[in-house]
């Protein structure tokens, strides 16, 4: 049995962290989040939904095949099969937790279509508010759960190590006060790195802090070079941009250039619903040539307030009514396929430290994640890990001294903004050797100034080492045609 005195600490309140904490019952869990209300996670912003082969004409094998194609066959095949096979059960579990998915007039679950999918298999909630509905329901379950103690408003900025094993965390609250929490096990469910880029669809908290912490503790990383760029964020000034869900293109919206020409014509057989990396590079190429790209959704039928309330509200807030005018769009950093290397259960290379969801890399997404597989992985991976930890005997804590491994100071705001711009320019949808090398040198020079520069240096190193294009990692200098 677990040691009675020490809880498991889960860091992060998105889909993966919530699912992990719920599945650990009855083992005591402390769930630590930066946000107070659970809204700060990228999960809560996810629009499209959750992929699951639920149509009788569809199959887990087809879902797996699409996942492998999107991932450029760089995926771990066993993990892909596990993900696709578990998807229908994940939907059923979410319904049991109170997530209400959208249904058609006959009462059947509505299945949407997104890029890279050979069938309509995206289950969604509140139209395009799937992530918000999921986080809301799971958070309500967590708050009812007697075994989970939730604490918001804290940043985990250090890991406690004893005799080579992770033995807890150090937190920093909003007033800068540090506290140590000893734990039997620490699970990082801290999300991705999108906010390290100047243009992202992620929230500001998706800044790679958990990945940086794991690396500081010596955990091995995997596939750090693979960053997915969503092709359609709203092209307005700012850092964290509103996402324009791919489901809109699934519903008939089309991309065009400034001259009104179909952007994806002749580029890929799936046209506007080509895999994200293909569409994102096409949009980026148009921008690099001095043009602007537009998404025309004015022909999308139906009740926008019901089907696409999130997109409608975000666009209207910026003065664009998508029912009447085409929307300016830009690629934006969206998802990190790489992360802390884990096995199928979430174990990192550091004893006592686990990772799940976007911060982790178990190989399931390969070189490019298929649309609507991320909430799915968070839920399935979190439940798998939670159940494992609940049933894993833990030895009594050692008696050696505790050591704190710190993530380190943050870059000052001006240097951080410059780093975001540098990564966008050198490590974005299109990369080449010289820009990667120069950016790496800048980050190496800044490495002592802030943890974001050290993390960026690790990312850039992986991007430099993979000299050929694969999936979302596109090397313009040595790119294979695709």
Provide, rounded to whole angstroms, the least separation between the CB of residue 375 and ligand SIN: 8
Please identify every residue annotated as catalytic.
276
Report which of 29, 27, 31 is spatially closest to residue 13, judged by C-alpha positions: 31
**CA–CA separation, 422 and 443 (whole Å):** 9
Q: Which of 47, 184, 348, 368 binds ligand SIN (CB under 6 A)?
A: 47
**CA–CA separation, 442 and 160 (whole Å):** 31
- Cβ distance to ligand SIN smaller for residue 155 or 246: 246
Binding residues for ligand SIN, rule CB under 6 A, total 9
Task: Choose the stretch contacting ligand SIN; rule: CB under 6 A; options: 46-54, 72-80, 234-242, 317-325.
Answer: 46-54
Number of H helices, E strands in the chain: 14, 19
Q: Can residue 312 be called a binding residue for ligand SIN (CB under 6 A)?
A: no
Q: Bridge-partner residues for 180, per DSSP?
A: 170
Provide, rounded to whole angstroms, the least separation between the CB of residue 245 and ligand SIN: 3
Of 395-454, which residues contact ligand SIN (CB under 6 A)? Answer: none
Which residue shows structure tokens 């498991």? 8
The strand pair at 185-188 and 221-222 is best described as: unpaired
Helix then strand then coil, in percent of the chain rounded to 5, is 35, 20, 45
**CA–CA separation, 450 and 455 (whole Å):** 9
- Cβ distance to ligand SIN smaller for residue 212 or 279: 279
**Helix H segments across 59-118?**
60-70, 77-96
- Cβ distance to ligand SIN smaller for residue 46 or 380: 46
Contact residues for 218 (Cβ-Cβ < 8 A; gap 6+): 349, 350, 405
Q: Which of 246, 272, 358, 377 binds ligand SIN (CB under 6 A)?
A: 246
Give residue 93's Cα distance to chain centre.
Answer: 21
Q: Can residue 133 be called a binding residue for ligand SIN (CB under 6 A)?
A: no
- Cβ distance to ligand SIN smaller for residue 41 or 374: 374
Provide, rounded to whole angstroms, the least separation between the CB of residue 124 and ligand SIN: 9
Q: Taking CB positions, which residue lies at the least distance from ligand SIN?
A: 48
Task: Choose the stretch contacting ligand SIN; rule: CB under 6 A; options: 4-12, 42-50, 170-178, 306-314.
Answer: 42-50
Q: Can residue 245 be called a binding residue for ligand SIN (CB under 6 A)?
A: yes
Q: Can residue 310 be called a binding residue for ligand SIN (CB under 6 A)?
A: no
**CA–CA separation, 140 and 128 (whole Å):** 20
Task: Choose the stretch contacting ligand SIN; rule: CB under 6 A; options: 152-160, 202-210, 245-253, 311-319.
Answer: 245-253
E-assigned strands of 343-468? 353-355, 360-361, 403-406
Of 369-398, which residues contact ligand SIN (CB under 6 A)? Answer: 371-372, 374
Task: Choose the stretch contacting ligand SIN; rule: CB under 6 A; options: 45-53, 89-97, 145-153, 305-313.
Answer: 45-53
- Cβ distance to ligand SIN smaller for residue 20 or 374: 374
Provide, rounded to whole angstroms, the least separation between the CB of residue 160 and ligand SIN: 34
**CA–CA separation, 87 and 329 (whole Å):** 31
Report which of 53, 64, 76 is spatially closest to residue 362, judged by C-alpha positions: 76
Q: Bridge-partner residues for 228, per DSSP?
A: 335
- Cβ distance to ligand SIN smaller for residue 217 or 240: 240
Site string for ligand SIN, 205-244 (x = CB under 6 A): ----------------------------------------
Element (H, E) at 42: helix 42-45
Helix/strand/coil for 290: coil
Q: Which residues bind ligand SIN (CB under 6 A)?
A: 46-48, 245-247, 371-372, 374
């Amino acid at each position: 049995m677990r040691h009675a005195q020490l809880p498991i600490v889960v860091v992060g309140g998105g889909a993966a962290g919530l699912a992990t904490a719920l599945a650990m019952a009855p083992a005591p869990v402390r769930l630590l989040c930066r946000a107070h209300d659970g809204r700060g996670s990228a999960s809560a912003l996810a629009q499209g939904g959750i992929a699951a082969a639920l149509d009788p004409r569809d199959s887990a094998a087809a879902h797996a095949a699409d996942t492998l194609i999107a991932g450029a066959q760089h995926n771990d095949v066993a993990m892909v099969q596990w993900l696709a096979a578990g998807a229908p059960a994940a939907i059923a579990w979410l319904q049991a937790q109170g997530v209400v998915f959208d249904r058609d007039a006959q009462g059947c679950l509505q299945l949407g279509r997104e890029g890279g999918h050979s069938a309509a298999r995206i289950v969604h909630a509140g139209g395009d508010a799937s992530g918000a509905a999921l986080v809301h329901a799971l958070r309500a379950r967590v708050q009812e759960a007697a075994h989970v103690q939730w604490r918001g408003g804290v940043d985990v900025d250090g890991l406690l190590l004893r005799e080579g094993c992770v033995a807890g965390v150090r937190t920093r609250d909003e007033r800068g006060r540090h506290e140590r929490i000893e734990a039997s096990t620490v699970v990082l469910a801290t999300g991705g790195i999108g906010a390290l880029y100047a243009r992202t669809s992620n929230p500001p908290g998706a800044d790679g802090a958990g990945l940086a912490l794991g690396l500081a503790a010596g955990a091995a990383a995997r596939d750090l070079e693979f960053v997915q760029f969503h092709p359609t964020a709203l092209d307005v000034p700012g850092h964290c941009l509103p996402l324009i869900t791919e489901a809109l293109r699934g519903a008939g919206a089309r991309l065009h250039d400034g001259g009104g020409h179909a952007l994806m014509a002749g580029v890929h057989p799936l046209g506007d619903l080509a895999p994200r990396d293909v569409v994102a590079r096409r949009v980026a190429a148009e921008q690099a040539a001095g043009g602007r790209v537009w998404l025309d959704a004015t022909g999308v039928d139906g009740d926008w307030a019901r089907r696409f309330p999130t997109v409608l509200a975000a666009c209207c807030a910026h003065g664009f009514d998508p029912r009447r005018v085409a929307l300016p769009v830009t690629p934006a950093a969206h998802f990190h396929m790489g992360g802390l290397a884990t096995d199928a259960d979430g174990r990192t290379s550091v004893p006592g430290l686990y990772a799940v969801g976007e911060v982790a890399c178990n190989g399931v997404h390969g070189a490019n994640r298929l649309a609507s597989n991320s909430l799915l992985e968070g839920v399935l991976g979190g439940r798998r890990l939670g159940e494992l930890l609940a049933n894993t005997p833990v030895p009594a804590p050692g008696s050696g001294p505790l050591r704190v491994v710190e993530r380190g100071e943050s870059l000052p705001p001006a240097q951080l903004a410059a780093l975001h711009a540098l990564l966008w320019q050198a490590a974005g949808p299109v990369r080449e050797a010289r820009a990667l090398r120069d950016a790496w040198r800048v980050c190496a020079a800044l490495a002592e100034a802030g943890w974001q520069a050290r993390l960026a240096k690790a990312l850039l190193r992986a991007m430099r080492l993979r000299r050929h294009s694969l999936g979302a990692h596109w090397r313009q200098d040595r790119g294979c045609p695709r």
